[in-house]
Chain A
């Protein structure tokens, strides 16, 4: 018997591979934005949108205004609730675009 209890390795897919499992149609334009970029740059030092997002949509930049990889979005809406400055613009992707869950 080994002294160490064996915990099987769980090979977790990378975020990129996880997002690849979701069917996606690009609406062409971002359905996400920030209302006032200056708020992100000057008033925000918590980056809550980045911390909460399960899909890596919100990304750090040098100027403090997050870059938005909207095509990663799983449409959960957590960034909208998370932002303490209420600075997230969130629209539904139109005409059926965005994610399509096959299982859900």
Chain B
């Protein structure tokens, strides 16, 4: 890897066109884009290496990444060959699973499991190969402004650590201290932020555990999502399970507003999820090789702060760019997309000799036209409704469907027509009859349409 350069070098002050705060996926995507546009870029990472402080579920969706770098060289774990969505009551599982044959063929629907320590370091190396100067173990503590309030650089924890450049790209993640301290965004409400914990498990005593338990061969992998009481109690959130090359990632995420009053502590909630009858057989005998935690901004389109300022842009998690509509859980792809559009806008502004917010406006414009904001806006309504209906969606309905399934397939000497009628009645009584079912279908029609 590229040796981090010493930061005390006074020549750095004023030597760059752009400073990237945080060498995660959004930051490195911005750095790559700007460096290729001919800008002099420095990326400042507080961790001992890029990715050292970063964690996600996680599945990375790679269409935009593919435009920026050679994905074949990337440290990908497995491609996603199966997506499975499970509703859990405390005792039951009702699941839908998809294994399209096409997902086995390249480019595998651009969906890969990834571990961020290795991946983020690799992506930052691509930025360095394009000319970015990477500085690690250096923390940006504040932004510098001129007398007119334009952001003109950053202060760091290094001796004489002030660094000036025309543009600052704020890619510091969900816990965005610098962006908030500079009044570029408000601290998110705790009902708009999820707390997530994850374990990476290995199975040293069970040869072929991952392939056998998840029915996999070669580089195929799975993405399993879990909802309902059996996943995270009556909190708003869910559980996940992803297969890596030699390990399994298992975790949960739910709103902080629920974490403080509805649920036991996150690690106890994780324990309960891992012990669920439908999950335990998949993770048993797993040895914890790492335990991680993260906050996830889930405020949707209304929580996106102003993305451009005089002398600065905000990207990735710091800009709240995460989609969670229950079916789609995305964020890293949106981080990369935002870094890409921000990087292009910065290059245009520098080329034009300007750094004011108006000169950077092609970034929010392109982001609004991209899948990032369009998807967020498409599903912005969903969270509000799902929170209103939480008892029905996370407890009553999974229970009713599990009961109905049990009844529908019940083997006794009654004719099947009796079981079918009973099963139907079990669901209808929960949703409020045919009228209620129709209302519910209408209320959530846009989830999959």
* Partner-B contacts on A (CB < 8 A): 5, 7-13, 15, 17-19, 21-22, 25, 46, 48, 51-55, 74-78, 80-82, 84, 86, 90-96, 98-104
Contact = CB atoms under 8 A, between A and B. Distances in A.
A32 to B, nearest CB: 12
B295 A81 contact: yes
A52 B55 contact: no
A16 B144 CA distance: 40
Contact of B157 (A51, A94, A104): A94
B51 interface: yes
Contacts of A99: 52-53
Contact of A9 (B193, B270, B284): B284
A104 B54 contact: yes
A51 B260 contact: yes
Contact of A76 (B47, B139, B280, B293): B293
Contacts of A22: 290-292
Given A55-B293, A100-B52, A104-B292, 6 more contacts: A8-B280, A10-B284, A22-B290, A54-B266, A101-B52, A104-B290
B139 A94 contact: yes
Contacts of A19: 291
Most chain B CB atoms below 10 A, which of A12, A80, A81: A81
A8 B293 contact: no
B117 A80 contact: no
Interface of B: 46-49, 51-56, 115-118, 120, 136-139, 141, 157, 174-175, 177, 187-190, 193, 195-197, 199-200, 247, 256, 259-261, 265-267, 270-271, 274-275, 277, 280-281, 283-286, 288-295
B291 A10 contact: no
A101 B290 contact: yes
Contacts, number: 165
A25 B48 CA distance: 10
A100 B45 CA distance: 12
B175 A76 contact: yes
Q: Which 3 A-B pairs have the closest CB atoms?
A: A96-B137, A77-B175, A104-B116
A17 B288 contact: yes
Contacts of A77: 174-175, 295
Given A22-B292, A81-B190, A96-B47, A54 B195 contact: yes
A90 B175 contact: yes
A10 B175 contact: no
Contacts of B274: 10, 12
B277 A101 contact: no
B284 A81 contact: no
Given A91-B177, A96-B47, A104-B120, A78 B280 contact: no
Contacts of A103: 115-118, 200, 247, 289-290, 292
Contacts of B46: 92-94, 96
A18 B139 contact: no
Contacts of B193: 78, 81
Contacts of A90: 175, 177
Contacts of A91: 141, 177
B280 A10 contact: yes
